Amino acid sequence: MWKIRWKLTVRGLAQNWAVFRESRVGMLGVVIILLFGVFGALWPIMINTVWDPLVYHPVVGFDPMVLHPSPPTRAHLLGTDPIGRDILAQLMFSTGREFLLGVLSALITVVIGTVIGTVAAYYGGFTDTFFMRVADIMMLFPFIPLLVVVGSMVRLTFFPFAMILGVLGGFGGITIILKAQALSVKVRPYIDAARVAGGSSFHIIRAHIIPNVLPLSFLYMMFNVTSAILSEATLSFFGVLNIDMSWGMMIHTADVAGYLFDFGKYWWLWLPSGVAITLFCAAFYMVGRGLDEVVNPRLRKR
Amino acid sequence: MVLPATPDMPDADDAILRVERLSKYYPVSRGFFQRRHLLLHAVDDASFEVRRGEVSGLVGESGCGKTTTGRLIARLILPTAGRIFVDNADVSKIQGSDLVEFRQKVQMIFQDPYESLDPRMTIFDIVTEPLNVNGIGNLEEREERVAEMLSLVGITPPSAFLFRFPHELSGGQRQRVAIARALVVNPTFVVADEPTSMLDVSIRTGVMKLLAQLREDLGISYLYITHDLAVARYLCDRIAVMYLGKIVEMGTAEEIVKEPLHPYTRALISAVPVPDPAIRRPVPNIKGGLSKPINPLPRCRFYERCPDARGVCADQNHPELKEVSGGRFVACHVL
Ligand SMILES: Nc1ncnc2c1ncn2[C@@H]1O[C@H](COP(=O)(O)OP(=O)(O)O)[C@@H](O)[C@H]1O
Ligand code: SF4
Ligand SMILES: [Mg+2]
């Protein structure tokens, strides 16, 4: 039984993959994400073999042999930052954490959004109105400035910050999109059929509505990774996050030391992390676009 | 499944389903600024019954309220007025464990087999769902039962279909799966809502024969909904003819087809091709199509299209259903 179900799942994924592969944008996104994955996986290898932790540690490392910030050299391929830390090491170290932050907060967003969206669609009435008003507020409220204020009052560390981003997103616009989808599922005859079969509301939401909304949830998860990383970069740049190292933090470091005033001369302080943020966000967005063709087959050419 | 005896029911008669003055009105809004209270009388004061072990047909044009009636009986929606009794239990009042029992006793086969099966479920999951949600049997027993049901409805060999998805099946196969699913909990009463109308003409007969066979074998009572009198005649013992939410005529299939009384039924009959050229029928041509019964005028619903209409029909309210002979009912002022 489980073997058969596993086979079916694999076959389903393979079919979706076949459709996804047709999307060039989506495939490019996948390739970029894989490259980032390899890049991030290199970090523990490098620090344990080639790189001396005293020199190359992304937070407390220091190279006493050169003046900082040092432009790219053989020892420091992407140069060093104003306080003597290796830029390439910082970039590599941060990659894994960007993945973690993006995926974790997007996952929280999508789980909350899916549950609220389907429940609001199924029950309608007050539940629906309440969550839709909350979503309106979430969408209109300027959360980045608010987090800047909050972040300057309390210490926002990595995990709490990922959670806050995830939860704020989950009550936001995604509930409206997923509710609309759930509403169209709710009126399908197979929902009536499930009720005639004796299915409870819980059963219908869990076994029919959520599985039929899930592809869209997954699609929006990709876009949420992008927005989580962008929020993190923005807030790090303002220096309100209590995160020791991230791509946004690298730019922040250059900024507080005053080097961004001559950004042409000190390009290695901001360009690598800036490119990383842009590429990483773009990659997840592109995967989302590719998935769109799997989820909404009417976009398919054939 | 053994049903508990109901000795406290004084008239435990031979009707499995009794519908009494059933109405379902939907509020409708026309245009953005119009605030007038408009009601669409989807089902309007309809009464009929289905006897135990019989197949009753509910016949009428598309949009006359057949599906709404079926959904009311299956308790997918609640009536605006009137009552429905299944096995002498008032369907609208059923709650708790009685509702669980009702959900096994009464099943529904839907019109569109492309829509009534969840596209993300395997055939096995679809057919076991009623067992699953009611906690009937363990996995092994369910597998056995599903295989048994699939062979019964002609999906053979079952093992070749268990882990397929609905989109991998033809329309006829899907409707057979939907039938297997409806019957897997041994229902006593089934509402079949135009189960063949969405299928290719070539496979309709097969599905109809299957339904007739199952009725013989399993002794299930059906309410068979169709817009096609010829189908109703083939499958049903009794026929109720519906027009704009009203039952206009009732009787045995034989009586309705051979000797239609109501002007609307006569019009329907004239639309059915007759195999025997010796049978000659008057051809009352009815004008126009079916309108929507939104806030209908207090007169015969069929007035606008009726070839026999007279003054009395416009002046008086819609005629009540009257028994003209044993078990034969007609709603017409003129008859
Ligand atoms: N949920 C609903 N809301 C508003 N009007 C409805 C609804 N369901 C059915 N109707 C209307 O009720 C009438 C009867 O519909 P239906 O029962 O589906 O007819 P049939 O099955 O005989 O074709 C139609 O005019 C239809 O538009
Ligand atoms: S009551 Fe009058 S209008 Fe209505 S069906 Fe009879 S003859 Fe026609
Ligand atoms: Mg219908």
pLDDT band at B35 (very low <50, low <70, confident <90, very high): low
CA angle B280, B286, B288 (to 5 degrees): 150
Q: Which residue has the higher pLDDT, B167 or B5?
A: B167
Query: Residue B111: CB within 6 Å of ligand 1?
Result: no
Mutate to test the pocket of ligand 2, among B285, B303, B316 (most ligand atoms within 8 A of CB): B303
Please report the pLDDT score of residue B7 as a whole number.
Answer: 43
pLDDT tier for residue B177 given thresholds of 50, 70 and 90? very high
Spatial distance between the Cα atoms of A241 and A224, rounded to a whole number of angstroms: 19
Of A67, A9, A29, A36, nearest to A292 by C-alpha is A29
Atom of ligand 2 nearest to the CA of B263: 5
Per-residue tokens: B66: 């057949």
Q: Which residues contact B324 (CB under 8 A, 6 or more apart)?
A: B261, B330, B335
Dist. CA B193 → ligand 3 center (Å): 7
Ranking A33-37, A297-301, B95-99 by mean pLDDT, the lowest is A297-301
Show the domains of chain B with their CATH numbers.
Answer: 12-112+189-330 (3.40.50.300)
Task: Give the closest-approach CA distance of B262 to chain A in angstroms.
Answer: 34
Predicted confidence at residue B34, as pLDDT, reads 62
Collect all residues with Cβ–Cβ distance below 8 Å to B197 and sequence separation of at least 6. Answer: B111, B226, B227, B228
Q: How large a percentage of chain B has pLDDT more than 90?
A: 60
Which class is domain A19-299? mainly alpha
| Residue among A121, A297, A110, A111 nearest A209 (CA) | A121
Read off the DSSP letter of residue B4.
Answer: P
Q: Which residue among A4, A188, A192 sits closest to B163, beta carbon to beta carbon?
A: A4
Which residues of chain B does A211 touch, with a Cβ-Cβ cutoff of 8 Å?
Answer: 118, 120
**Of the ranges A208-222, B275-289, B304-318, the best mean pLDDT one:** A208-222
The ligand placed nearest to the CA atom of residue B43 is 1
Q: Which residues pair with B241 in a beta bridge?
A: B59, B249
Higher pLDDT, A129 or A147: A129
For chain A, which residues make up each domain, given as ranges? 19-299
Confidence of residue B86 (pLDDT cuts 50, 70, 90): very high
| A189 to chain B: closest CA residue | B116
Pairing of strands B81-86, B15-28: antiparallel
Interval A271-293 mean pLDDT: 93
**Angle at alpha carbon of residue B138, lines to B134 and B144, rounded to 5°:** 105
Query: What distance in angstroms lies between residue B20's CA and the mean position of ligand 2's atoms?
Result: 23
| Per-chain mean pLDDT for chain A | 90
Residue A174: is its pLDDT beyond 70? yes
- pLDDT value of residue A182: 96
| Tens-digit pLDDT profile for residues A250-277 | 999 999 888 888 888 899 999 999 999 9
Q: Do A195 and B115 touch (CB under 8 A)?
A: no
Residue B3 confidence (pLDDT) above 50 = no
pLDDT at res. B122: 92
Q: How many CA atoms lie within 13 A of A271 on its CB side?
A: 12
Is the pLDDT at A14 greater than 60, yes or no?
A: yes
Q: 3-state secondary structure string, chain A?
A: CHHHHHHHHHHHHHHHHHHHHCCHHHHHHHHHHHHHHHHHHHHHHHHHCCCCHHHHCCCCCCCCCCCCCCCCCCCCCCCECCCCCEHHHHHHHHHHHHHHHHHHHHHHHHHHHHHHHHHHHHHCHHHHHHHHHHHHHHHHCCHHHHHHHHHHHCCECHHHHHHHHHHHHHCCHHHHHHHHHHHHHHCCHHHHHHHHCCCCHHHHHHHHHHHHHHHHHHHHHHHHHHHHHHHHHHHHHCCCECCCCCHHHHHHHHHHCCHHHHCCCCHHHCHHHHHHHHHHHHHHHHHHHHHHHHHCHHHCCC
Please state, in angstroms and rounded to a whole number, the distance separating the CA atoms of residues A188 and A176. 19
CA distance B261 to B332: 9
CA distance A29 to B202: 49
What integer is the mean pLDDT of B206-219?
Answer: 88
Helix (H) or strand (E) holding B148: helix B139-152
Q: Which of B24, B26, B194 to mutate to test the pocket of ligand 1 (most atoms within 8 A of CB)?
A: B26
- Across the interface, do B110 and A198 touch by the CB < 8 Å criterion? no
- B139 and A1 in contact (C-beta within 8 Å)? yes
Q: Which of B43, B52, B60 is nearest to B86 (CA)?
A: B52
**Strands B189-193 and B221-226, how do they pair?**
parallel
Residue B81 pLDDT greater than 90, yes or no: yes
Mean pLDDT of all residues in A55-84: 89
Average pLDDT over residues A36-56: 92
Chain B residues interacting with chain A (CB cutoff of 8 angstroms): 71, 74, 76, 100, 103-104, 106-108, 110-112, 115-120, 122, 129-130, 133-134, 139, 163, 178, 181-182, 185
pLDDT, tens only, A122-133: 999 999 999 999
- pLDDT given at position A298: 57
Element (H, E) at B17: strand B15-28
Interface of A with B (CB under 8 A): 1, 4, 8, 188-190, 192-200, 203, 207-208, 211-212
**pLDDT tier at B285, thresholds 50, 70, 90:** low
Alpha-carbon distance B265 to B262, whole Å?
5
Tell me how close the Cα of A13 comes to any Cα of chain B, in angstroms. 13
Contact partners, residue B94, CB within 8 Å, separation at least 6: B75, B102
Q: What does the pLDDT read at residue B85?
A: 95
Atom of ligand 2 nearest to the CA of B303: 3
Least confident segment among A218-232, B139-153, B305-319: B305-319
Whether B26 lines ligand 1, by a CB cut-off of 6 Å, is yes
Classify residue A148 by burial, with Cβ atoms within 10 Å: 0-12, 13-18, 19+: middle
Query: pLDDT value at position B1?
Result: 43
Whether pLDDT at B36 is above 60: yes
The whole-angstrom separation of Cα B128 and Cα B139 is 9
Closest residue by CA, ligand 1 atom 12: B42
Query: CB distance B115–A211 less than 8 Å?
Result: no
- Report DSSP state, residue B294: B
A12: closest chain B residue by CA: B120
Task: Name the more confident of B252 and A297.
Answer: B252
More reliable by pLDDT, A239 or A107: A107
Query: Which residues, 6+ apart, have CB-to-CB distance to A19 below 8 Å?
Result: A293, A294, A297, A300
Strands, sheet with B38-51, edge to edge from the N-terminal-most edge strand:
B38-51, B15-28, B81-86, B89-90
**The pTM is what?**
0.87
pLDDT of residue B32: 65
* Residues on chain B touching A203 (C-beta within 8 angstroms): 133
Of B40, B62, B66, B264, the one to substitute when testing ligand 1's pocket (max ligand atoms within 8 A of C-beta) is B40
pLDDT band at B4; cut points 50, 70, 90:
very low
User: Which residue of A190, A198, A200 is in closest CB contact with B118?
Assistant: A190
pLDDT at A191 over 90: yes
Whose C-alpha lies nearest to ligand 1, atom 5? B26
Q: Rounded to a whole number, what is the distance in Å from the CA of A240 to chain B's nearest CA?
A: 45
CB A212 to CB B139 under 8 A?
Answer: no
pLDDT at residue A206 is higher than 50: yes
Percent of chain A predicted with pLDDT > 90: 59
Phi-psi region of A142 (alpha: psi -120 to 50; beta: other; left: phi over 0): beta
Asked whether this complex has an ipTM greater than 0.95, the answer is: no
Indicate whether A138 pLDDT > 90. no
Looking at the CA of B241, name the nearest ligand: 1
Ligand 2, CB cutoff 6 Å, lining residues: B 263, 300, 302-303, 306, 308-309, 313, 319, 332-334
Confidence of residue B249 (pLDDT cuts 50, 70, 90): very high
pLDDT reading at B291 higher than 80: no
Q: Separation of B333 CA from ligand 2 center, angstroms? A: 6
- Rounded-to-integer distance, Cα A33 and Cα A88, Å: 18
In the prediction, which pLDDT does B286 show? 61
Least confident span in A281-290, B152-161, B270-279: B270-279
Higher local confidence (pLDDT), B10 or A253: A253
Confidence band of B330 (pLDDT split at 50, 70, 90): very high
The one-letter amino acid code at B224 reads: Y
Average pLDDT, chain B: 87
Distance, in Å, from the CA atom of A158 to the CA atom of B125, rounded to the nearest integer, reads 42
Q: What does the pLDDT average to over A53-70?
A: 88
Q: For residue B109, what pLDDT band results from cuts at 50, 70 and 90?
A: very high
Q: How far apart are CA B223 and CA B230, in angstroms?
A: 16
**Residue B161 predicted with pLDDT over 90:** yes
